[in-house]
Structure 1
Amino acid sequence: MPIALDPGQRAELAEHCLLQPATACDPAWSLPAVDLLDPDSCRALLDRLGPVIGSPNRYITASLLAKRLAFLTTGLALYGMSVLDRGLDLALANWRLDYRHQDGLWRSQMPLLDQRASTPQPGAREAWRASVVQTLFAEGLAPLWQSLHQSARVPLPVLWENTAVRVYSLYEKRLTAERHPARQAQIQADFHWLVAQAPAAVFGASHNPLQRFFRPRQPATARPGTRIRKTCCFYYRATDPETYCGTCPLPHARCKRQTA
């Protein structure tokens, strides 16, 4: 049975994962996440958001929105799971899509309607973990990515790699500085399961997308240890002058051609 977060957990998730009550949303810049499953609502949002973020078309707007939503949803669900042993409900019906953007930066947070959480029973954490992950991906992001794909024609591999890089960053950067050393073994075990063992069904996909994009890091780059993406998110198309993500495959490919 779901239980309430204690004040300390709620504060930690608000600080690190931008959790907020759904009632705190600005109605002018948010909507129920399930609304995006309607093609007309989805296209209307993309058309409104495009000029705000400097995007030239729905395709790029959808990709950049997906990056932000992947950051918010996976950060909250997986931080709660791996650090606090709390399983928050990230199914689409339980959150609002906050899309505030100002002065070139996302200002959106992660508003949940029901902020109660599940907890693992003794000896059953693996089954509980699979359930938390399935709610996040199969019941949350997978249908949302399908809608963005259909409404904006952005390829599903781009949307899933946008998601994967957020998960890698969470576990390889943000959680490596986790201040509870006793949690490190659990954090690493969860990450290994996500990228190497989790079945396709928990992602609502035909394969495990986190495993598909988990490439070795590249030592010979401007930023040694960077994992270069397979796909481009098209962030550079919404910047002036053009600015590339640190993991973008385009400048990396050009550099390889010049040194060949």
Structure 2
Amino acid sequence: MQALDLSELEERFDIRAEDRNGVIVSIPAEQLLVREHADRLLQAYAPLIRARGVEVAATYFSGWYGSICIAMQYMVSHYDHVLDLSLANVTVQLYPNDRYYHFSFKIGEPRIMRLDGYEREEWRKSVLETLYRDNVRPLIEALSSSASINAGQLWGQIVTEMYRQVDSWLIDASDDSLKRRISSDFRFLTHSLDADVFGRKKNPFDMKLRTVENPFKPGCQTYIKAACCLAYRTDDPEDNGHKYCYTCPRLSVQEREAYKALIVDSQEHRA
């Protein structure tokens, strides 16, 4: 396989070696396991997204932190070595991007964990278990405690985007060998990692996501989210009159159809 391309990680996942320009909050990820620092991050982020509670900031941030999980899955499938994305080696940075605010993840030391000397399945198991058991799980649990929100709702923000990204990798895969590796690694994540690695009764990635027609791309499907992101608990100055996202699992079939009709109508008026 080719060498790990750090510039690709920066472009795809905003994982970088240098500070982002205009950073307004910078916290070593390991510190977020301490209530004081988790509170500080959520309380700084909540007003920037017009959240009516820090639990909204927790769901939104969990979605951003999912970039770490997705980047690791990408490296496992596309390279024979991975970058150290442990909490101890990552600094979370919040920065403005046009009218919104994004998170970037700054790497401390560019430590690489290579496949050399291991059977691939053994190496994959070690890499993913270590990521989720020792890093993602403690952070999710810390955010859950700080924001008084169920950890399952925070895991759900990561799950949906993981499924979307894996779908796109399969479409873009350059050959059948890579497609098989991506599929195999995803099956391992969703069906072979034990639930206790995540601190849950069930592996949060082991689920069948429903799909619905994508009104922005006629003829295509999109996933219904694994969990509500709480966007309805933000004060959106461009409120479209709907409390929930089109792909929110809380919407009934009838509500989603009505929402789709409004989206299609608005798209036709813009054309």
State the TM-score, normalized to the length of structure 2. 0.80
Instruction: Give, in whole Å, the separation in 1 of the partners of 2:117 and 2:22.
Output: 40
Instruction: Give, in whole Å, the separation in 2 of the partners of 1:76 and 1:138.
Output: 17
Question: Is 1:215 the equivalent of 2:208?
Answer: yes
Residues 4-51 of structure 1 deviation map (CA, whole Å, 9 limit, x = unaligned): x95x61222222222211556766421100111111221122111111
Paired position in structure 2 for 1:236: 232
Higher radius of gyration, 1 or 2:
2
Q: 1:221 deviation in Å?
A: 7.4
Q: Which has the higher helix share?
A: 1
Question: Is 1:203 the equivalent of 2:198?
Answer: yes
CA RMSD, aligned part only?
2.8
Q: Which of 105, 108, 117 lines up with 1:113 in the alignment?
A: 108
Q: 1:245 deviation in Å?
A: 3.6
In the alignment, is the contact (CA less than 8 A) between 1:89 and 1:136 conserved in 2?
no
In the alignment, is the contact (CA less than 8 A) between 2:63 and 2:158 conserved in 1?
yes
Q: 1:195 deviation in Å?
A: 1.3
In the alignment, is the contact (CA less than 8 A) between 1:90 and 1:135 conserved in 2?
no
Instruction: Give, in whole Å, the separation in 2 of the partners of 1:24 and 1:197.
Output: 36
Stretches of structure 2 lacking an aligned partner (at least 5 in a row): 259-271
In the alignment, is the contact (CA less than 8 A) between 2:75 and 2:82 conserved in 1?
yes
Q: Which has the higher strand share?
A: 2
Q: Which of 141, 162, 167 lines up with 1:167 in the alignment?
A: 162
Stretches of structure 1 lacking an aligned partner (at least 5 in a row): none
Q: Kindly report which structure 2 residues correspond to 1:185-200, keeping only aligned pairs within 5 A, or say none.
A: 185-200=180-195
SS at match of 2:255: helix
Q: 1:107 to 1:172 in 2, by over 3 A?
A: same
SS at match of 1:87: strand
In the alignment, is the contact (CA less than 8 A) between 1:232 and 1:248 conserved in 2?
yes
Instruction: Give, in whole Å, the separation in 2 of the partners of 1:153 and 1:208.
Output: 21
Look up the equivalent residue of 2:38 and give its one-letter code.
C
In the alignment, is the contact (CA less than 8 A) between 2:209 and 2:225 conserved in 1?
no
Q: 1:52 to 1:246 in 2, by over 3 A?
A: same
Residues 133-162 of structure 1 deviation map (CA, whole Å, 9 limit, x = unaligned): 122211111111111111111111101111
State the TM-score, normalized to the length of structure 1. 0.83
Aligned residue pairs: how many? 250
Question: Is 1:248 the equivalent of 2:248?
Answer: yes
In the alignment, is the contact (CA less than 8 A) between 1:138 and 1:202 conserved in 2?
yes
Range that drifts further, 134-143 or 220-229: 220-229
Q: 1:45 to 1:129 in 2, by over 3 A?
A: same
In the alignment, is the contact (CA less than 8 A) between 2:17 and 2:108 conserved in 1?
yes
